[in-house]
Amino acid sequence: MRPPDRFDVLVIGSGASGLAAAVAAERAGANVALATKGSIQANNSSKAQGGIQAAFADDDSPELHAADVMRSSHETADPRLVEILTGDARSAIHWLEELGCAFTREDGGYRLARCGGASRRRLLQVGDRTGHAITKALRDAHEGGNALTFPDHALAALEPTASGWRASFEVKNGDPVAIDAGTVVLAAGGRCFAEAKRRQELSTNHPNATGEVTGIALDLGAEARDLDALQYHPNGGAWPVTMQGYSIPETTRAYGAVLLNANGEEFTDSLGLRDVVSQAIFDEVTAGRGVETEDGRPAVYLDTTRIPEADADISLPYMLRRYRGAGIDPLTEPLLTYPVLHYQNGGLVIDEHAETTLEGLYACGEIAGGTHGRNRMMGNSLLECVVFGRRAGRAASEKASV
């Protein structure tokens, strides 16, 4: 192993949270390294479609947003983190705009949709490639700065040193390396790909969502919460085969699609809480009112024919392209859908600066817990990545300079 490089701040992971942390730390004056398991583009954040929440509507406020988060979490979220999430939301959006992310606009304002569990229209979108647009803006800012990127570096171990941390990496097609840093930001995402594989189920997640970094932090003694609370996305694609595991954006339901059983009956509030809607689908199928795909999988209908074409063209063009490419036009026939493993609700315990219970070790994005409690609302994960990624980067930079 060659002698370790030394940085002020080391960020692990290149999703929205890691990129936000790296950009914020660098802009705060730190000498930053970002190491990530695959290519810099390989992450869940880039796959996010539907949107990002922020209270911009005239009848909305950060307080109403916070109340929706608490209710959706069944009052299990950490109110302190929820207040920060919703309170920082507008400035997080403006920051992304400064970095070049252009949200879809209409009538002089943002195009806003109402997502499941929300009392107001609050979901900003970039068509239905919102995660792609946000990560591109963050990636451009990161690559335009002085921070170094180490792709194909998988964190294998982390140990405290007299002046911070030493991180050891397995390197694809290379020898293991170590990197020393004053502070470390863990932004390595969740574990739903690995968990789905273990359960022999489908997942919406990128294959890099395997969760070993959480394990490394737990072994060091970091505290975690709600790690058992994994979220099913209500609308996994069930048919055709090429769409299995695809997450049909919740914006389909925001723009009028409804869930129907085999008898054509609406059996649940299609804009209800995610866990409630998923459970209603499971229950409907168990009660024998579901339908079966051609390869024998359980499903119900998502009647997307109710979505006005103009809304679909603006807010669902990628979904339309994917399904039409697979031989189904969602505007003329309903889709077959079934819940699919999607998101790790819990994670490492953090404070308002995204510091874990171990000093100098930060966590942001899906690897952190508390912000969503045991049931996340759509659109709050990308927001969490930006809000707490920025906070983590700034705080890690400040602590590293002491």
CB of 195 to ligand FAD, least distance (A): 13
Nearer residue to ligand FAD within complex by CB, 125 or 261: 125
The three-class DSSP label of residue 69 is helix
At 300, which helix (H) or strand (E)?
strand 298-303
> Going along 217-293, which residue ranges are E strands?
224-225, 230-239, 258-260, 291-292
Q: Which residue among 274, 297, 322, 374 is the active-site one?
A: 274
Separation between Cα atoms, residue 374 and residue 385, nearest integer Å: 17
Nearer residue to ligand FAD within complex by CB, 164 or 365: 365
Nearer residue to ligand FAD within complex by CB, 13 or 234: 13
Whether cis (ω within 30° of 0) applies to the bond prior to 330 is no
| DSSP symbol at 365 | G
CB of 275 to ligand FAD, least distance (A): 15
Nearer residue to ligand FAD within complex by CB, 128 or 303: 128
Separation between Cα atoms, residue 318 and residue 143, nearest integer Å: 27
Nearer residue to ligand FAD within complex by CB, 23 or 209: 209
The answer to whether 397 touches 25, Cβ cutoff 8 Å, is: yes
The answer to whether 314 touches 103, Cβ cutoff 8 Å, is: no
CB of 64 to ligand FAD, least distance (A): 18
- Residue 100, by phi and psi: left (phi above 0), alpha (psi -120 to 50) or beta? left
CB of 273 to ligand FAD, least distance (A): 15
Q: For this structure, is 274 an active site residue?
A: yes
- Residue 64, by phi and psi: left (phi above 0), alpha (psi -120 to 50) or beta? alpha
Show Cβ contacts of residue 344 under 8 Å, excluding neighbours closer than 6 positions: 190, 191, 192, 211, 227, 229, 230, 231, 366, 367
Tokens representing 279? 């459970």
Measure the CA dihedral 173/174/175/176, to 10°.
-80
CB of 228 to ligand FAD, least distance (A): 17
Nearer residue to ligand FAD within complex by CB, 183 or 261: 183
Evaluate the CA torsion angle 315, 207, 16, 65 in order and state its sign: positive
Separation between Cα atoms, residue 208 and residue 37, nearest integer Å: 7
Residue type, 88: D
The answer to whether 134 touches 163, Cβ cutoff 8 Å, is: no
Q: Backbone phi, then psi, for 140, in 5-degree steps?
A: -60, -40
Nearer residue to ligand FAD within complex by CB, 70 or 377: 377
For binding to ligand FAD (CB under 6 A), which residues are involved? 12-18, 35-38, 42-45, 47-52, 130-131, 154-155, 187-189, 204-205, 208-209, 212-213, 247, 343, 365-367, 378-382, 385
CB of 396 to ligand FAD, least distance (A): 15
CB of 365 to ligand FAD, least distance (A): 2
Q: Which residues are catalytic?
A: 274
